[in-house]
């Protein structure tokens, strides 16, 4: 298959899901991971961006076409709208919902939106958020807008800030995390990311700017602005510095997360369980709260803000405030 203008700049996985009618998403991701799918005669990853004229080779597959059945299995759903016009849609994605189906997930935001809006001729994700991350998510309603908006993210003219609650006291002087990241697959095929040395051949330079919004007795609420958009960047950067995101099952403080998720009335330092629903917390506290970018048609600077979800606000209200730091005593002669 040769990529034409209608398919240019799509991710490889999204392209294959569209053209391989009847292929389960698990099969699509398996043949990509195994190297059976080739782009210009070379291996490619699921997030490879296809360019005009690229040649994509797919192994012979025996498929049963069931697009109607698959579509009917996706429940239609709208999401809170932060902005919408004829070329783009900006929503406030809830935690616990994937942005798209694949890798064991039957459907996500984009499939549900397409189901809810059968009259829409074009709906595509501009960028990604992790399943457990909530907040601002941009969807294009025209291919020209998709290409322009993705260029904004690629060339860093889109400015994203996240709210993250981490364990411990984040150092006041630690304003920048400039640590290379390497993405890899575990033996089970699960996607993971690790911090590596700057001169590591597999590492990609990754930069996060961090500021402390509020301190608590045992936690820190941070604003994190990413200058690069690597997979799991914030999660790995904060964990690498010794302050994992609360509720992060992959990179966080596993003992703390287990204690928070267990619930009940057992004592937990710095947390008033009685102020939490069922005394427990079982999601990741990472929220895409702010996004600024130019409009894909007019060029006007647009700003979108998603308020902290009620669950996050409830957790903050349950945290003990930071203890005041006393001034050093003055000796008298």
Token pair belonging to 229: 């958009």
Q: How far apart are CA 232 and CA 237, in angstroms?
A: 8
Residue 329 CB coordination number (10 Å) = 6
Q: How far apart are CA 174 and CA 182, in angstroms?
A: 22
Active site residue 223: no
Residues 140 and 122 sit within 8 Å (Cβ to Cβ): yes
Residues 6+ apart with CB under 8 A from 331: none
Residues 243 and 288 sit within 8 Å (Cβ to Cβ): no
Q: How far apart are CA 149 and CA 151, in angstroms?
A: 5
Residues 46 and 76 sit within 8 Å (Cβ to Cβ): no
- Mutual angle of helices 25-33 and 12-19, in 10-degree steps: 130
Q: Which of 92, 130, 248, 253 is catalytic?
A: 130
Q: How far apart are CA 214 and CA 327, in angstroms?
A: 20
Residues 52 and 3 sit within 8 Å (Cβ to Cβ): yes
Q: How far apart are CA 168 and CA 212, in angstroms?
A: 12
Nearest CA to 235 among 162, 128, 308, 185? 162
Rg of the Cα atoms in the chain: 22
At 123 the three-state DSSP class reads: coil
Phi, psi of 41 (to 5 degrees): 70, 5
Catalytic positions are: 130
């Amino acid at each position: 298959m040769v990529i034409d203008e209608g398919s240019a700049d799509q991710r490889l996985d999204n392209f294959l899901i569209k053209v391989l009618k009847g292929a389960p998403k698990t099969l699509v991701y398996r043949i990509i991971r195994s190297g059976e799918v080739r782009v210009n005669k070379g291996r490619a990853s699921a997030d490879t961006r296809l360019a005009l004229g690229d040649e994509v080779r797919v192994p012979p597959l025996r498929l049963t076409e069931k697009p109607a059945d698959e579509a009917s299995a996706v429940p239609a759903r709208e999401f809170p709208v932060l902005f919408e016009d004829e070329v783009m849609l900006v929503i406030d994605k809830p935690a616990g919902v994937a942005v798209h189906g694949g890798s064991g997930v039957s459907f996500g935001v984009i499939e549900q939106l397409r189901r809810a809006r059968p009259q829409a001729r074009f709906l595509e994700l501009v960028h990604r958020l992790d399943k457990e991350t909530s907040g601002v998510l941009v969807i294009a309603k025209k291919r020209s807008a998709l290409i322009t908006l993705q260029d904004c993210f690629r060339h860093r003219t889109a400015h994203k800030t996240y709210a993250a609650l981490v364990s411990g006291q984040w150092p006041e002087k630690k304003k920048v995390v400039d640590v290379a990241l390497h993405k890899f697959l575990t033996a089970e095929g699960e996607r993971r990311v690790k911090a590596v040395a700057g001169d590591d051949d597999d590492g990609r330079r990754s930069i996060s700017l961090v500021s402390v919004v509020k301190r608590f007795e045992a936690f820190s609420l941070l604003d994190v602005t990413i200058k690069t958009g690597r997979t799991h960047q914030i999660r790995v950067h904060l964990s690498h510095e010794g302050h994992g995101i609360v509720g992060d099952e992959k990179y966080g403080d596993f003992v703390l997360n287990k204690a928070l998720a267990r619930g009940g009335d057992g004592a937990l330092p710095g947390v008033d369980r009685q102020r939490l629903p069922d005394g427990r917390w079982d999601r990741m506290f990472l929220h895409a709260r702010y996004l600024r970018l130019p409009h894909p048609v007019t060029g006007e600077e647009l700003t979108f803000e998603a308020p902290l979800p009620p669950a996050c606000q409830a957790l903050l209200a349950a945290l003990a405030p930071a203890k005041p730091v006393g001034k050093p005593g003055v000796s008298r002669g």
